[in-house]
Amino acid sequence: MRDLRTLHNHVNGAFVDAVDGRTLDIVDPTTGQVYATSPLSGAADVDAAMAAAADAFPHWRDATPSTRQKLLLRIADAIEARADELVDAECRDTGKPRGLTLSEEIGPMADQVRFFAGAARLLEGRSAGEYADGMTSIIRREPIGVCAQVAPWNYPMMTAVWKFAPALAAGNTVVLKPSDTTPASTVLLADIVGGVLADMGLPAGVLNVICGDRETGRLMVEHPTPAMAAITGSVRAGIQVAQSAAGDVKRVHLELGGKAPVLVFEDADIAEAARVISTAGFFNAGQDCTAATRVLVHESIHAPFVEALTKAAAGARTGGVDEADVCYGPLNNADQLAQVSGYIERLPAHATVETGGHRVGEAGYFYAATVVTGLRQHDEIIQNEVFGPVITVQRFSDEDQAVEYANDVRFALASSVWTKDHARAMRMSRRLDFGCVWINTHAPLLAEMPHGGFKQSGYGKDLSAYGFEDYTRIKHVMTAL
């Protein structure tokens, strides 16, 4: 008999199993072996979580902004206090290097929660005024209601924060589902938030976490209780959520895939560009919708840039959670390993694998840092999101061709421009059809700045005041004088 860890849903302040007892196996991606089980939540579990959130909503909606702020500030403190537990849970589910996860995720998570704690007290609107004779108009900004949220497996605990923190700050209550492969850290976050809610005498149903698969997510989105559905995931998942939410006209917030172009012009610092792009492309095994994985380089510096990038990639080591000098861990699951491998196996004859292009080891889902050159604009690997440690390199001849290639994909989340020419950087930032344009850097995210894209990368913003406003609704109140 297997000796496995057992995870639970967290509903109305209590750990509970799925009503029908069904479970999912959770696999350690560093070994490929099952190490835990989590509930496979069905309709009855979704009903219970939605009922808890709906019951808690009137109290939480009417809580003062200062109360919401206090809750979030205490949650941020608790995240830092229990950092080691959160990192242990995150790394077991994802295989991420422990040191990087502690340094790169816990601090930003706590900072993001504190940002939204401040936002809770800054619900701005247009001032009252008289726009018709004998009438005064007022604009109210209000919480939406119960929010159904679905988080992905690449950054489970950080995206959970991106989801629940602005929603709670605005006065909403939440039912959150983590990915079926990475539930552990989100369940622990629910326990942390639940403890703070209890200490403050607030309703336990303000935040509920239920585990499950795609069907669980579908049941959440189609449930009549939520007023809003928010997902970070694939384009396919986003389309399904939008279609399901259309049945009763729910509001939808979608943060989907990416295929970030990285434009390297002839005056760029080649060594620095190669170093940063390698880091931004291979971090988290390239499992990042903003990853620097599609490089467009001016033909005059193509050869030296490829040489520098290939050297940097060859030094980007993958390995286990506690191994030294590891840049990134494994891919998340067997299906993802097969997807990344498939893109390399199907490369056209005109492509060249400069380094990598193979699995590492026989256990787990490790894949070598890979650089591919010689590609053409409409090759499969250029047009589709690989979501793995693979960087492609294409040539361009001038600004117009660079922009044409950059925009000629269905994704529009993030991009970067590498040049010493300020005017060129400004031209590119205007012409690039992406929600974020970095200049001479790639990947920094800030709590104060919005994260979100266009086209099939979705709509709505995470982080920033814009992300906060996405979880509010606008009401006009008019009174006769």
User: Which are the catalytic amino acids?
Assistant: 255, 289
C-alpha dihedral, 442 to 448 to 451 to 452, nearest 10°: -140
C-alpha dihedral, 226 to 227 to 233 to 239, nearest 10°: 110
Helix (H) or strand (E) holding 390: strand 390-396
Structure tokens at 353: 């694998």
User: Could you give the CA distance from residue 36 to residue 438 in angstroms, rounded to a whole number?
Assistant: 40
| Contact present, 61 and 170 (Cβ < 8 Å) | no
| Contact present, 406 and 241 (Cβ < 8 Å) | no
Paired strand residues for 422: none
CB atoms within 10 A of CB 249: 8
What one-character DSSP code corresponds to residue 102? I
User: Could you give the CA distance from residue 318 to residue 186 in angstroms, rounded to a whole number?
Assistant: 25
CB atoms within 10 A of CB 84: 11
User: Could you give the CA distance from residue 409 to residue 456 in angstroms, rounded to a whole number?
Assistant: 9
Q: Which residues contact 287 (CB under 8 A, 6 or more apart)?
A: 154, 331, 332, 336, 387, 388
Give CA separation, 146 vs 57, 117, 175, 210, 282, in Å.
Answer: 7, 19, 7, 15, 37
| Contact present, 78 and 195 (Cβ < 8 Å) | yes
Structure tokens at 339: 């997807």
Give CA separation, 190 vs 18, 228, 329, in Å.
Answer: 16, 20, 26
Helices (H), 367-462: 380-383, 399-407, 422-431
Amino acid at 428: M
| Concatenated DSSP letters of 132-174 | ETTEEEEEEEEE--EEEEE--SSSHHHHHHHHHHHHHHTT-EE
User: Could you give the CA distance from residue 460 to residue 147 in angstroms, rounded to a whole number?
Assistant: 14
Strands 414-418 and 436-439: parallel
